[in-house]
Amino acid sequence: MVTLGTGIGSAIFYRGNLLPNTEFGHIEIKGEDAEARASDAARQRDDLSWKDFAKRLNRYLEMMNKLFWPDLFIIGGGISKQHEKFLPLLKIEVPVVPAQLLNEAGIIGAALAAQRDQ
């Protein structure tokens, strides 16, 4: 799971279990934190076209693929509401889908996890 907004949030689920404490927005790409290049804030700051944003996001996802070999990338966060503008432009071989609950996915997931832990 990758959330794209003011930064890059990340989560890894393995066999249905959340791996805690991931922070993959700070992986270095071209000498910068990934979130400085591939977040929605970076897209807006650099006035990127959807094609140019997709290239940056693709590079980030390719790096995540090399490290973890995921079965699927799920994109959430604020930009997920506009997924139809950039997901078709990605060239990564791993399937990439928008979160079903779009920007609300992280909030609802956190609430459910907190409720479960009580």
Instruction: Specify the pLDDT at position 60.
Output: 97
Higher pLDDT: 58 or 114? It is 58
Paired sense of beta strands 73-76 and 2-4, if any? parallel
Q: Which domain holds residue 14?
A: 2-116
Residue with token string 């994109």? 75
Residues in the chain: 118
What percentage of the chain carries pLDDT values higher than 90? 68
Q: Which of 50-54, 62-66, 69-73, 109-113 has the lowest mean pLDDT?
A: 109-113
Instruction: Specify the pLDDT at position 58.
Output: 97
Residue 99, pLDDT above cutoff 80:
yes
CATH code where residue 93 lies: 3.30.420.40
Q: Are 108 and 99 in contact (CB under 8 A)?
A: no
**Taking the model in full, what pTM does it have?**
0.87
Instruction: Specify the pLDDT at position 24.
Output: 94
Residue 100, pLDDT above cutoff 80:
yes
Query: What's the pLDDT tens digit per position in 26-61?
Result: 999 989 999 999 999 999 999 999 999 999 999 999
Instruction: Specify the pLDDT at position 16.
Output: 84
Number of folded domains that form the chain: 1
Q: Are 50 and 58 in contact (CB under 8 A)?
A: no
